[in-house]
Amino acid sequence: MTKKRFALVGAGLFGEVHAKAYSTTPGAELALVCDLNGERAKEVASQYGAGGFVTDWREVAAAGDIDAVSVATPDFAHAQIAVELAKAGKHLLVEKPLAMSVEECDQIIAAAEASGVKLMVDFHNRWSPAFHEAHRLLRAGELGRPRLLYFRLSNTTYVPLEMLSWAERSSVLWFLGAHAIDMVCWLTGEWPQRVYAVSRGGVLKEKGVDVPDFFQSTLEFPSGAVASVENCWLLPQSAPSVFDLKCEIVGSEATINIDTSSNRTVEIAGKESLRYAEVLGAPWVHGRQVGFMVESVRHFANCVIEDREPLISGEQGREVTRIACAIERSAETGQPVEIER
Ligand SMILES: NC(=O)c1ccc[n+]([C@@H]2O[C@H](COP(=O)([O-])OP(=O)(O)OC[C@H]3O[C@@H](n4cnc5c(N)ncnc54)[C@H](O)[C@@H]3O)[C@@H](O)[C@H]2O)c1
């Protein structure tokens, strides 16, 4: 069987996970890597065995032998690239958030529909065994009706101050909140009808990066369920993990608690500090790349190879963007925002 040929646009920190996944998926070939930074494109291409590298995504669109592309450029730089790649007939896996406005999401979805290509948004927590299990238990009715959800996904200041060169063009709401919103909606099986949000800034600005410190958001669902979503970029760098993820689901009959960050599965008491190894996302185990972050990319690859529809659609990505926009508006105005769809 001829392999399907995949390309990557945006070979930064997270693009590398896509490169790892394509290069280790049977039936897939990582054929081309694109990054504005030619050195980085070359490094990722050679590390994961891609046949070539380029610095202009238009060359990926023009490459007739590429079947599908991952877009892992910064949050604000997904839309134009995704639209043009879809027009060029490439199946698309776009990193979250799909785009930072509903209009841009609509453009991507319309271009994909017009070309008949697959479009998936990489909400990889849906492949996390912990959330998959919570989803299964909810669907099996073990919790009764979901009533109250708490979802905290935060980072240490390392992320906005040192890791992301483009933090000021995104925010913790777009970078982490997009995952959190997708999760509470996927778990409840509903889209919220109203949001209330509070955001504060100042601490990160004093440290030189002008972005909000946190968003505290309340999402009201049509069934009466309510989710409280907390995202901050303020955790101290002495924390044992760069991220903190906690989730509690209170149902009418039972509750579930999830902690995928400080679960102490692997706790390392180093010479100077305590840290937790990240063993769920994308670890190598006996020479095999495993982990939920890799599995979501493999899912997309297999959908292209087997001509199946991905589990996450562009429309779902657009709803998450719609909710994030409503949260921003509520935080700006101090008023609840009704979500029209
Ligand atoms: N870092 C994470 O933990 C993480 C996790 C999940 C999802 N994501 C998402 O993945 C995306 C990328 O994030 P990242 O952390 O890898 O950022 P990054 O800054 O490490 O990488 C982005 C890369 O895109 C390249 N780039 C920018 N504009 C480009 C263009 N027009 N054409 C080609 N290349 C271009 C940059 O040179 C850079 O190498 C974001 O949407 C982010 O929200 C990141």
The number of the ligand 1 atom at minimal distance from the alpha carbon of 178 is 43
The number of the ligand 1 atom at minimal distance from the alpha carbon of 170 is 43
Alpha-carbon span 77 to 94, nearest angstrom: 11
Q: Is 16 in the pocket of ligand 1 (CB under 6 A)?
A: no
DSSP labels, 74-106: -GGGSHHHHHHHHHTT-EEEEESSS-SSHHHHH
- Using the mean position of ligand 1's atoms as its centre, give its distance from the Cα of residue 75 in Å: 7
Q: Is 336 in the pocket of ligand 1 (CB under 6 A)?
A: no
Q: Is 29 in the pocket of ligand 1 (CB under 6 A)?
A: no
Name residue, tokens 């380029």: 54
- Using the mean position of ligand 1's atoms as its centre, give its distance from the Cα of residue 215 in Å: 22
- Using the mean position of ligand 1's atoms as its centre, give its distance from the Cα of residue 211 in Å: 18
Q: Is 72 in the pocket of ligand 1 (CB under 6 A)?
A: yes
For residue 244, give the nearest of 259, 266, 228 by alpha carbon.
259
- Using the mean position of ligand 1's atoms as its centre, give its distance from the Cα of residue 10 in Å: 5
Distances in whole angstroms, Cα of residue 272 to Cα of each of 200, 243, 266, 268, 278 = 33, 19, 17, 10, 19
Question: Per-residue confidence of the chain (341 residues) as pLDDT tens digits?
Answer: 799 999 999 999 999 999 999 999 999 999 999 999 999 999 999 999 999 999 999 999 999 999 999 999 999 999 999 999 999 999 999 999 999 999 999 999 999 999 999 999 999 999 999 999 999 999 999 999 999 999 999 999 999 999 999 999 999 999 999 999 999 999 999 999 999 999 999 999 999 999 999 999 999 999 999 999 999 999 999 999 999 999 999 999 999 999 999 888 899 999 999 999 989 999 999 988 899 999 999 999 999 999 999 999 999 999 999 999 999 999 999 999 999 88
- Using the mean position of ligand 1's atoms as its centre, give its distance from the Cα of residue 70 in Å: 11
Alpha-carbon span 88 to 100, nearest angstrom: 22
For residue 32, give the nearest of 83, 24, 42, 73 by alpha carbon.
42
